[in-house]
Amino acid sequence: MTGFGNVRIKGVSGKEYKFRAYILDTKFQNFSAVYFISNRLVRPDGRISHSRIYCGQTMDISSLFNYLQGTLTFKAHKANCICILPKEDEISRLEIERDIHQNYRFMCQD
């Protein structure tokens, strides 16, 4: 499973989280993670940007594949990337998700 590289996101707390970026249709094994969906764009100067479409957390990242492929809202925002931060502890996942949500506005909300 080849990734695009790392993406750093700061929470409102100032803490920086390092996510790994993958193409949206990547099939993952079963593990828990915080994730965000983005439109990954390579600019003419070679820099990469990610539009923030959605942020969530799950106890089984493998179960998201069918959901992500069928979500019209994500397709409307040209989602093409999923960035993941593996995290087994549910309380930690929820805290990270909340920290990020308080610092950024996402195109799609729960």
pLDDT score, position 81: 92
Give strand pairing partners of 95: none
Q: Global pTM?
A: 0.88
pLDDT score, position 70: 60
pLDDT tens sequence for the chain (110 residues): 668 899 999 999 999 999 999 998 898 999 999 999 999 998 999 899 899 999 999 999 998 866 666 666 777 888 899 999 999 999 999 999 999 999 999 888 75
Residue of 8, 3, 34, 21 whose CA lies nearest to 81: 21
Question: Please, are residues 23 and 66 in contact by the beta-carbon 8 Å criterion?
Answer: no
Domain assignments of the chain as residue spans, ordered by start: 5-103
